[in-house]
């Protein structure tokens, strides 16, 4: 009998030990939740002068709910201009726009959004916003930063989510506009390639898409005009 009681007591103790171990594991899991991240996505992409490209401001809330946020982006306004910034899927279908300021002189974007309705936990990772840029036609070859200078995200109780990690991005201008063969100079060789496929459209025999500088799937006087405007330029000039 005594032996039995002791066994029961031991079993209870073991159960209690396992139970408290589980509790503490849950507790630890909550405390060391990894930090939320806000990233320029893609982190790096290559474009030519004159190209239009987009970047997402991607958010991984890492378990938090996100009810609203504001981002500030900095870019090199001498090399590119920001065409637009639109909301992504992070804060629901039609979030309220609080602030939307694009400054193509200073090279900054300020954008604030809020979810309509309540925020349920956790908010899945998604795009806070998508920004569209156009590289200037005279942009020099180089690597240019697209930085998230500040970011604030509010949780489901409208309190700041702490310790957000920011991942900036870059865009690499790898080709001069009009440099059809990519040899860092716009010259007669590019003109020759354009001439060989002049008047052709995508799908035609002998169509060379490299000569379609304005990306309208036809090589014509418009592409010739762009080449002419940059004729003689080189990467070091
Ligand atoms: Ca060339
Ligand atoms: Ca064209």
Say whether both 22 and 125 belong to one domain.
Answer: no
pLDDT at 106: 98
Say whether both 100 and 215 belong to one domain.
Answer: no
CATH number at residue 103: 2.60.40.680
pLDDT higher than threshold 80 for residue 46: yes
Say whether both 130 and 49 belong to one domain.
Answer: yes
Phi and psi, residue 23, nearest 5°: -60, -45
Say whether both 2 and 83 belong to one domain.
Answer: no
Say whether both 127 and 212 belong to one domain.
Answer: no
pLDDT higher than threshold 60 for residue 2: no
Q: Tell me how far apart the 2 most distant CA atoms of the chain are, in Å.
A: 104
pLDDT higher than threshold 90 for residue 137: no
In a domain, 59, yes or no: yes
Render pLDDT for 173-218 as a digit per residue (tens, 0 to 9): 988 889 999 898 999 999 999 999 999 999 999 999 999 999 899 9
Q: Give the percent of the chain with pLDDT over 70.
A: 85
Contacts of 214 (CB under 8 A, 6+ apart): 50, 222, 223, 226
User: Is the overall model pTM greater than 0.85, yes or no?
Assistant: no
CA of 234 to the centre of ligand 1 (A): 8
Say whether both 3 and 103 belong to one domain.
Answer: no
CA of 131 to the centre of ligand 1 (A): 30
Say whether both 9 and 41 belong to one domain.
Answer: no
Q: Give the percent of the chain with pLDDT over 90.
A: 76
pLDDT higher than threshold 70 for residue 19: no
Say whether both 48 and 94 belong to one domain.
Answer: yes
| Structural domain for 154, as ranges | 37-175
CA of 210 to the centre of ligand 2 (A): 10
Say whether both 146 and 221 belong to one domain.
Answer: no
User: Measured between alpha carbons, how far is 210 from 118 in angstroms, rounded to an integer?
Assistant: 50
CA of 212 to the centre of ligand 1 (A): 14
CA of 210 to the centre of ligand 1 (A): 11
> Looking up tokens 């806000």, which residue turns up?
38
Render pLDDT for 75-97 as a digit per residue (tens, 0 to 9): 999 999 999 999 999 999 999 99
In a domain, 180, yes or no: no
> How do 68-74 and 142-154 pair as beta strands?
antiparallel
Q: Which helix (H) or strand (E) holds 200?
A: none
CA of 173 to the centre of ligand 1 (A): 15
- Looking at the structure of the chain, the number of domains it has is 3
Mean pLDDT along residues 123-141: 95
In a domain, 183, yes or no: no
pLDDT higher than threshold 70 for residue 1: no
Q: Which ligand is nearest to the CA of 184?
A: 1
Q: Which ligand is nearest to the CA of 225?
A: 2
Confidence of residue 26 (pLDDT cuts 50, 70, 90): very low
Per the structure block, which two tokens stand in for 150? 């500040």
Q: Which helix (H) or strand (E) holds 33?
A: none
Distances (CA, A) of 89 to 68, 117, 138, 152: 12, 15, 34, 17
Q: Which ligand is nearest to the CA of 178?
A: 1
Q: How far is CA 164 from the centre of its chain?
A: 16
Distances (CA, A) of 201 to 50, 209, 210, 224: 20, 8, 12, 14
């Amino acid at each position: 009998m005594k032996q039995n009681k002791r066994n029961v007591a031991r079993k209870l103790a073991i159960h209690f030990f396992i139970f408290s171990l589980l509790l503490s594991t849950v507790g630890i899991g909550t405390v060391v939740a990894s930090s939320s991240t806000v990233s320029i996505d893609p982190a790096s992409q290559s474009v030519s002068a004159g190209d239009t490209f987009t970047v997402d401001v991607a958010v991984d809330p890492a378990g938090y709910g996100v009810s609203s946020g504001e981002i500030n982006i900095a870019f090199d306004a001498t090399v590119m201009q920001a065409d637009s910034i639109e909301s992504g899927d992070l804060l629901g279908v039609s979030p309220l726009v609080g602030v939307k300021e694009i400054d193509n002189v200073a090279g900054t974007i300020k954008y604030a959004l809020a979810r309509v309705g309540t925020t349920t936990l956790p908010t899945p990772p998604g795009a806070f916003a998508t920004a569209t840029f156009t590289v200037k036609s005279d942009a020099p070859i180089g690597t240019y930063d697209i930085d998230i200078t500040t970011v604030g995200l509010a949780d489901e109780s409208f309190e700041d989510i702490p310790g957000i990690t920011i991942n900036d991005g870059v865009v690499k201008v790898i080709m001069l506009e009009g440099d059809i063969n990519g040899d860092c100079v716009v010259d007669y060789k590019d003109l020759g390639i354009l001439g060989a496929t002049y008047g052709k459209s995508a799908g035609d025999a002998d169509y060379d898409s490299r000569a379609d500088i304005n990306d309208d799937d036809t090589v014509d006087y418009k592409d010739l005009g762009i080449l002419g405007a940059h004729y003689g330029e080189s990467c070091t000039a």
